Amino acid sequence: MPDALDTAAYDALVTAAETYRAALTIRLAGEAGLRADEIGRVTSGHLREAAIAPGHDLLAVPSPEEGATPNGAGGSPDTPRLDRETVVPASLAAELRRYADIEEIGEAEPFVSVSARRIQMIVRETAVRAAAQTDGTVDPDVTTSDLRHTFARRLLVDRGVDPHAVREAGGWETTAALDPYLDPLDGQAIAEAVAGSSPDRDEREYRIDTEETADADRAAPAGIGGFEAIAAGDGDSDARPISAVPRRLATADRWAEAWVVREPTEGSRVDVAASAGIAPAGLRERGIADGGPWQEALEGTAAITDGHPTTAGRPAVAVPVRYEDVTHGSLCVVVDGDRPVDAAERRTIEVLGRSLGWAVTARRWRELLHSDAVTEVTFQTTDDNAFLVRASAALDCQIELSSTVTVTDDASRLYLSVTGARPQGIADVVDGLPGVSDLRLIETDEDSCSVSVQVTGGSAVQTLTDHGATVRDAMATDGRVRVIADLPEGTDVRPVADGFRRAFTDARLVSKESVARSPRTESSLREGIKDRFTDRQWTALSAAYHGGYFDWPRGSTAEEVADAMDVSSPTFHNHLRKAQRALLDGLFEDERRLARS
């Protein structure tokens, strides 16, 4: 029997995805039946509504040939044909279009512009995380093939779809792969099939659809106020997302209370960051310091309870307020009444927790961009979990960070200046380090070189960036790294320091001081122009600059920079040209403005 996931395991797998892109990758395999290489080819131009199937859209699956376009969607007899069309739930189609809009992905650009191997890694990494979160309910070795079989099982077993239609949608050559899901039929069943349909099919499908719609209808109002609070946030201190979200949730009929709790440091009491429906003092009277669902949520998974002293004995759900590898706290909501929290409500609050985590980090970035003063912090560590520590110790050299460019949601490219080591020595160290790969030489000298590496873990720089800090300098010498970063003026440094120490056990905060921002700082120079770029345009421009693309002779070709960013060369050129145009627009618009004045 193929390893198809049951509904609970599949939901847990999707929930475990830490990024929007990872969740969509899993859903494209599990709900559209796409292979790993096919996921990397589909675009918004391949989506179209299925008029005769309400609640579903059609997704054309392009062949590997360059330039394939959907049949019936602007194609011509000379257009390369598609492999097939498959059906996707309308909810997935809507999420794909929303993702394309947010990320400014063109109609001809893939939703997930990475290699098939990287897609397989995304599924595997998410499965390992889901297995840990569910105590083994999800197999850590789930593959895209298993997800395709989940797609087949759902259609054949849960929906009773014709096997011929499932074979065509999934792109199987024969129905042999579907045999494990097809039960043998007795004479009565065969007669019913010949007659047209099973007598209870319509009723059963109506019941399933009605139950799913009811779950969605309950879940939507249960969390909509929290999402609205994030969307409406502005500079007003009362609109800070970490306090606005609980306040808006507690106004919904479903919830009596909502609060955010931060993990206490050694020797300190539990910090109630925000609460609505109950005062912090009331939570302490209930014994919040002794634990509860909020504490389980800080470990990374949703915690549902039908009654606990901290929730006054009422059902509740607690979820982590998380962005990337940073947990800002735990969001706990307590029901108004005694009806338990259902699966749809749990998933809604989990997504809200991740959205709130992103909003907290984004607010710090925004405040840092516009503040006249910053809190400058300096951290130091010799923990060899930090890549720069391990590399400088192994090579007895000095490594200075030139820049960091985000490549994907879970990977960054570090541009490094190395003194006292040759490229081959660095390559030997990188080969033995987990989470560090794809070393690229940019420039070499007699006793120094400039290189870049891709890092998916163990980065002191990325850890601080995920907390909303801007890293200004990082230097590693003989197994010791020193990182200087800026935080918005008035930021509570304790959670940032705690998070850094969790990542690197011997890390310590060396200094903290308020510093007036110079009008000539890099941040202030960027402030007037960076808002002209999309994230992708800025990433392309940064990667090209630090990769030596603009040097003469060039340190990297366009193809090499695109490969380092894990995108196609045309996609890189598209974003780079738009970024250059935005940069020149700023230059010449200012020139014209000065001339007119």
98-153: pLDDT as tens digits: 888 888 888 888 999 888 888 988 998 899 888 888 887 888 889 998 999 999 98
Residue written as token pair 């122009």: 529
CA separation for the pair 230, 325 (Å, rounded): 20
Q: In this structure, are residues 57 and 93 in contact, taking their beta carbons and an 8 Å threshold?
A: yes
Same domain, 265 and 290: yes
In the chain, how many domains are there?
Answer: 4
Listed residues 515, 549, 573: the one ending a domain: 515
What is the structure's pLDDT at 33? Answer: 92
What is the structure's pLDDT at 66? Answer: 45
| Positive or negative: CA dihedral 208, 214, 217, 221 | negative
68 backbone dihedrals φ, ψ, rounded to 5°? -65, 135
Same domain, 354 and 398: no
What is the structure's pLDDT at 53? Answer: 58
C-alpha triplet 512, 517, 521: angle, nearest 5°:
115
In 343-403, alpha helices (H)? 343-370, 387-395
Same domain, 493 and 528: no
| Residue 447 covered by a domain | yes
Residue written as token pair 């996921």: 39
Same domain, 65 and 159: yes
Q: Closest Cα to residue 401, out of 417, 412, 389?
A: 417
Write the DSSP assignment of 455-469 as a string of letters. ESS--HHHHHHHTT-
Burial 321-359 (b: 16+ CB within 10 A, else e): bbbbbbbbbbbbbbbbeeeebbebbbbbbbbbbbbbbbb
Listed residues 365, 398, 415: the one ending a domain: 365
Count CB-CB contacts under 10 A for residue 423.
17
CA separation for the pair 349, 297 (Å, rounded): 12
Q: What is the DSSP letter of 554?
A: -
| Residue 194 covered by a domain | no
Q: What is the pTM of this model?
A: 0.44
What CATH number has the domain bearing residue 141? 1.10.443.10
What is the structure's pLDDT at 196? Answer: 47
Classify residue 456 as exposed, middle or buried by CB count within 10 Å of its CB (0-12, 13-18, 19+).
middle
Same domain, 109 and 240: no
Same domain, 21 and 167: yes
CA separation for the pair 344, 211 (Å, rounded): 11
> Can you read off the two tokens belonging to residue 285?
């009277």
Same domain, 104 and 27: yes
Residue 312, helix vs strand vs coil: coil
What CATH number has the domain bearing residue 522? 1.10.10.10
In 82-186, alpha helices (H)? 90-102, 116-133, 144-153, 163-170
| Residue 192 covered by a domain | no
Per-residue CA distances from 539 to 219, 412, 462, 468, 584 (Å)? 36, 11, 15, 17, 17
What CATH number has the domain bearing residue 226? 3.30.450.40
Q: What is the DSSP letter of 157?
A: I
Strands (E), 53-95: 56-61, 84-89
What is the structure's pLDDT at 148? Answer: 92
What is the structure's pLDDT at 31? Answer: 93
Strands (E), 382-520: 398-408, 411-419, 436-444, 448-455, 470-477, 480-488, 508-516
Listed residues 466, 500, 515: the one ending a domain: 515
What is the structure's pLDDT at 322? Answer: 80
Give 49's Cβ-side CA count (13 Å radius): 4
Same domain, 296 and 433: no
CA separation for the pair 542, 405 (Å, rounded): 7
| Residue 193 covered by a domain | no
Same domain, 343 and 389: no
Same domain, 446 and 396: yes
Burial 482-504 (b: 16+ CB within 10 A, else e): bbbbbbbbebeeebbbbbbbebb
Same domain, 482 and 359: no
Q: Closest Cα to residue 4, out of 179, 173, 135, 164?
A: 179
| Residue 209 covered by a domain | no
Classify residue 151 as exposed, middle or buried by CB count within 10 Å of its CB (0-12, 13-18, 19+).
buried
Instruction: Report CA 496 to chain centroid distance, whole Å.
Output: 20
Same domain, 511 and 522: no
Residues of the chain with pLDDT under 70: 1-3, 51-55, 65-83, 183-223, 232-239, 264-268, 324-325, 365-372, 408-410, 432, 457-458, 517-532, 586-597
| Residue 231 covered by a domain | yes
Q: What is the dihedral of CA 562, 563, 568, 572, to 10 degrees?
A: -10
What is the structure's pLDDT at 68? Answer: 40
Per-residue CA distances from 331 to 97, 258, 422 (Å)? 29, 7, 49
582 lies in which domain range?
518-597
Q: What is the pLDDT of residues 319-373, one digit of tens each?
A: 888 876 677 888 999 988 888 888 888 888 888 888 888 888 777 766 655 566 7
Sequence-distant (≥ 6) Cβ neighbours of residue 77 within 8 angstroms: none
542 backbone dihedrals φ, ψ, rounded to 5°? -65, -45
Q: What is the DSSP letter of 303?
A: E
| Residue 56 covered by a domain | yes
| Positive or negative: CA dihedral 428, 434, 436, 439 | positive
| Residue 2 covered by a domain | no
